[in-house]
A = this chain, B = another copy of it.
């Protein structure tokens, strides 16, 4: 049941409705109604999406009279961003190496069948 912060952030971002809300919030803080307007769904559904974003720490809410002002907190996303950026470096390296290998092999007239059979590790 334990979900790490990264889990919560990534799964919050995995829904187009919630990404839409975050995109809207890039324009500035608003109330729930404004956030809900573009999305064709019931008000409680919107409320649930906001709770997901809130549990991931992606938004902050300030009650202001009867309306709730919502604003983005970009900090949890940076954890996600950092994770991606970190590993992307290695992945690209990996990917490019394989890419180069495949390209090189394609150039040979008789591609060796078993050349990859014995690899280190």
Contacts and interface: CB of A to CB of B under 8 A. Distances in A.
Contacts of A84: 13, 77, 80-81, 84
Interface of A: 4, 6-7, 10-11, 13-16, 19, 22-23, 25-30, 64, 71-75, 77-78, 80-81, 83-85, 87-88, 90-92, 94-95, 98, 116-117, 121
Copies in the complex: 2
A29 B98 contact: yes
A64 B13 CA distance: 35
A91 B74 contact: yes
A13 B14 CA distance: 9
Nearest to A62: B116
15 contacts: A4-B16, A7-B15, A10-B11, A11-B14, A19-B83, A22-B91, A26-B94, A29-B94, A71-B98, A74-B91, A75-B95, A78-B88, A80-B84, A81-B85, A81-B88
